[in-house]
Each structure stands twice: as C-alpha cells, then as structure tokens.
Structure 1
Amino acid sequence: MPAGLGEFLRSRRERLTPEAVGLPLGRRRRTPGLRREEVAELAGIGVDWYVRLEQGRTVRPSAATIDALAAALRLDDTERAHLAVLARQTARPAFEPETVPPAVKRLIEGLDQPAYATGRRWDVLAWNDAAGELFTDFGACADEDRNILVYLLLDPATRRLFGKDWAAMARHTVTQFRAAHDVFAGDPMFTRLAARLAAGSPEFTAWWEDHDISVGRGSGRKVLHHPVRGVLTYDYATFQANDDAAVRLTVYAPAK
C-alpha cells in the first residue's frame, strides 16, 4: 500500500490530544498526540492491524473501518474523503505530466482575459499572453520553473503582486498540493518539487509540516498590485477538462 495513507494517519493522530477524544491524560507522553493503541481502541480495530496501516504495509481496510478511523481521528468531510482515496489505492504508476487537449489549448490562447491550465503538481501546462502579462512570462521560464507553487513561493515579485492576500492564497495552494502529494507519495516528481520548495521557502516548510489538505476553490476574487497597471481586481473561475479531470483551466475577468 502506498506510503501516503500511513503518513496521513500519523499526522492526524499526532495532532489530537487525549482530552479532545475523551481519554484520561494518564502518564507523561514523550511525543505529541494520541498513541497508536488509543486510536485503535477508539476505532474498534486491532492495534497490530492499525500499526500495519501506519507503516504502509499491505492492508485493505473496509469502508466501515475507514469510517471508524475517520471518526476516531475527528476528521472533517474533506479529510474523510482523502482518507478513503488513500485507503483504496494500490501501487501507482510513476507520475506522468498531463497534456492539455489541443482544443483547450486553442481556447486558452484565444481568450483576451488571463487564462492558464495546470496539472496535479501545479505545473503550468498552457497559458495565454494576458496571463503572462498579468502574472509572469511563463514562456521565458525554464521548464522546472513553470509551476504555480514555484511562482508563488520562490518569486519575490509574487508577494508584492498579491499583497496582504499572499499568505492565505499561498497556504491554500500548498494544502491542495499536499493532497495530491499524498496520492503520489514517494514519486520523485513530487518529492523533488516539495524538497525544492522547502529549501527556498520557510513558509512552505511550516505549512507542509501541518499536513493540512484541501480541495480547490472553484471561483473567487483576487486583488492584485501590478507594478505597471496599479491595483486590479479580478474574479476567477476554475474548471476541469472533460478529456482529463487532472487538467484545471483557470480564467480571470475584471471584477465589476
């Protein structure tokens, strides 16, 4: 079983306290969070079996067991769904970058408003001139730099562009990447990107250790502080491509 499940379970176990789940504090604890045997007891499963889950060994939990673990670990709906995805996984093939369908690429390039397409690693797969002018010249970037996470976390100009909203937006993007990273746990394409971001961004390191996960926002509003055009307010919406649900199309329009 892929390692993502064990890492996710451990992260959620370590953030709980005995008091939060109605257990006595008992003797002094060397590490934060619940003990494995406590989670197993709360979920009504064997300790050895739970340990095998955290170790990423080949165990196939039933839907009832997934629900019991989610309840024991006090998971919200997003975390519960993520746990179910990880628990159902078998060995994954190596990650292959997505390809934007030609019709979607032509649509993006033909739009007057900023638009781009991204994949599961947040690689920028296609973009138009308006997006390049508003954000950065993706065409001039090296392949490994053509990535929303690299742009948000490692380019100082991005902090100025997004102003006071930068931290909240960057953190939310990291939580979305964390969810995809769990699914591809151990894949070098994901681990290399995470290592690069950790080396260059102390904020990423702190957020990464929190192991928060989230799903994307379908739409919203962003206020940008453009170095030439001044303060700009855009509404945006994100769509999945029917040809490949891993490809996300994001389109911006001036707010009215």
Structure 2
Amino acid sequence: MSSSNAHHSELGAFLKARRTELGPAQVGLPDSAGRRRVKGLRREEVALLASISPDYYTRLEQGRRQASEPVLDALARVLRLDDGERAYMFELSGRDAARPRRRATQKVHPQLQRLLDDLPTTPAVVLGRRTDILAWNPMAAALFTDFARIPEGNRNFVRLVFCEPAIRTLYPDWDWVAQISLAQLRMEAARDPKDPRLAVLVGELSLQDPDFRRWWGAHHVAVQGTGTKTLNHPVVGRLTLDWSFLTCADDPDQQLITLTAEPGTPSHDRLRILASHATQADREGRRS
C-alpha cells in the first residue's frame, strides 16, 4: 500500500472513530437511541451536518476520496475536533491545517439597545449575523415569545421559525414567512460562506426539518428591507404589521427590526392592548 493510500485509510478510520463517540444530542439532533443500530452518529448524519453528500462522506471513510480543505473544516466542526485532532486530520489529508477562524461573539450595540429601551409600544429586536437574536424589548417578547427562556446559543430567528411551535402558529402564512427567512439566511451564507456557526445551523436544521432541507436546496435568496406581516396573536388576535430594518452604522452586521401598525387601524389598537399586557408582565417580573 502506498503512503498516500495508507494515509487515506487512516483518515477514514479516524473519522469513523470520532463519529462513533458523538451522540445525536451533542450535535442538536433528536435522540432516538432505542431505535439506532450504530453507535454514535450515522454517516448520513455527519454528511448532512457538514453539507456534503452521504456518498462523498462514505468514500472518505473508505479511503477512496481525498477531501478538500473546506470539507475538512466542516468535518472538524461537526465532529467537535480540538486543535490537535484537527491538525492530525489535515496531516492525514496532506493539507496545511491553518488555525480555524474564530469570530468574536456579537453583542448588541449600545445605541441599538437604547433604541430598544425607548420603544415601549413597538415590538423591536436586534438581529446579528445568521439572524441571531442579540436583543429585544418587552413588546417583542410579548408579540413573539419569551426569548429569555431560550438558551443563548439557540436564539436565532430562522431556528425559531422552524423549531418553535409558538412561532409556527403565530403566522397564518407560515410557509411564506419561513421561505423568506431562509432566503435571507442564504444571502448571509453568500456573504460569509466559511462561517462555522452558519454551517452548523444549516446542517442541524436540514436534518431536523424536511421543509428546510427542500427549500435550502432551492437556493433562493432575498435581501432585508421592508414589508407587511400578518400574525394571529393568542392574546390580542389578528395583527397586520409593517416591518422595517435599521442598520447600525458602527456594525453593519446588526439590524434593528421594528414592527408597527398604521394609526387608526384595529391592529394599532391591539398593539396598544398588547403593550399594556407587556408592561404588566414586566412589572411582575421585576417584583419576583
């Protein structure tokens, strides 16, 4: 066996060993251990999380395919490799293991936080990269969901649209909202195709939701702008709201999204009722 073939065979064994050490829950997948026939992750699950075909990954494990650097990066993220394991994997592949790029965790810009605090009757949130939810005001929590109860790593608008039952029932035209939010996420992917957290998000949602998997494969894109959304709120009923984006000048990756209703309409009156509920809930929360 040539040195190259030996390395490819060793790479396959290494990948298999690493995936058998990871459980579904560790990568955000439903844990159905009682029905699983293999230990750890399946090949198909690793492939989907890494955004490659199952056939491509199978040939890697069998030593019949050489991996590109982007694929190796994706596999390092999916398999939760530390720096030493990542360097070893790249060495087996005959690639240089540049240190993985780590972007600083986004924090809401202070000016946007002040704007949120000064909007007592207007639902508003700050979205960052990948549609991560960086901040919100009490009205946004009252309109959508209690974001504070969601683990920080899961506070992502697209994730909530697909995975949060309360959000699904909020939109009577959920299919349209979901496809638009996904198209905006694909635009994010075009701006930063090597974003590791985006790759993980897409992989997890592709495995968990067949609609996401199908629509993501359609490669539709959309830019953020303005529009109108209809919501069926459990407290105040039907709302027709106009939404718009305000981009932070100091950090263009942060946008303030506001939802307003035309004065004199039933939706405007219902927003005021919702604001009263939100104020009362905020006071009770501060006292507890």
Q: Which amino acid aligns with 2:214?
A: A
Partner of 2:154: 145
Q: Distance in 2 between matches of 1:153 and 1:190?
A: 15
Partner of 2:106: 98
1:207 to 196, 206, 215: 215
Contact 1:221 1:235 in 2 (8 A): yes
Q: Distance in 2 between matches of 1:96 and 1:151?
A: 23
Q: Which amino acid aligns with 1:177?
A: L
Deviations 1:74-117 (A, max 9, x none): xxxxxxxxxxxxxxxxxx94343322211210211221210000
TM alignment of 1:1-256, pairs within 5 A:
93-112=101-120, 113-163=122-172, 165-216=173-224, 218-255=225-262, 256=265
**Structure 1 regions of 5+ residues with no counterpart?**
1-54, 58-91
> Would the alpha carbon gap of residues 97 and 121 (structure 1) be closer, same or farther in structure 2, given more than 3 Å must change?
farther
Q: Distance in 2 between matches of 1:145 and 1:93?
A: 21
Partner of 1:73: none
**Structure 2 regions of 5+ residues with no counterpart?**
1-67, 71-99, 266-288
Helix, strand or coil for the counterpart of 1:203?
helix
- Once the 2 structures are TM-superposed, how far is the Cα of residue 161 of structure 1 from its aligned partner? 0.6
Helix, strand or coil for the counterpart of 2:251?
coil
TM-score normalised by L of structure 2? 0.54
Q: Distance in 2 between matches of 1:166 and 1:198?
A: 18
- Once the 2 structures are TM-superposed, how far is the Cα of residue 152 of structure 1 from its aligned partner? 0.4
Contact 1:95 1:184 in 2 (8 A): no
Q: Distance in 1 between matches of 2:187 and 2:245?
A: 18
Q: Distance in 2 between matches of 1:176 and 1:248?
A: 13
Q: Distance in 1 between matches of 2:220 and 2:169?
A: 25
Deviations 1:35-92 (A, max 9, x none): xxxxxxxxxxxxxxxxxxxx899xxxxxxxxxxxxxxxxxxxxxxxxxxxxxxxxxx9
Spell out structure 1 runs of 4+ moving beyond 4 A: none
Q: Which amino acid aligns with 2:253?
A: A
Q: Distance in 2 between matches of 1:93 and 1:145?
A: 21
Q: How many residues were matched structurally? A: 167
Contact 1:240 1:248 in 2 (8 A): yes
Contact 1:97 1:119 in 2 (8 A): no
Q: Distance in 2 between matches of 1:148 and 1:107?
A: 20
Q: Distance in 2 between matches of 1:95 and 1:197?
A: 22
Contact 2:145 2:166 in 1 (8 A): no
Contact 1:95 1:189 in 2 (8 A): no
Deviations 1:113-157 (A, max 9, x none): 100000121110010000000001111110122110111011122
Q: Distance in 2 between matches of 1:169 and 1:56?
A: 35
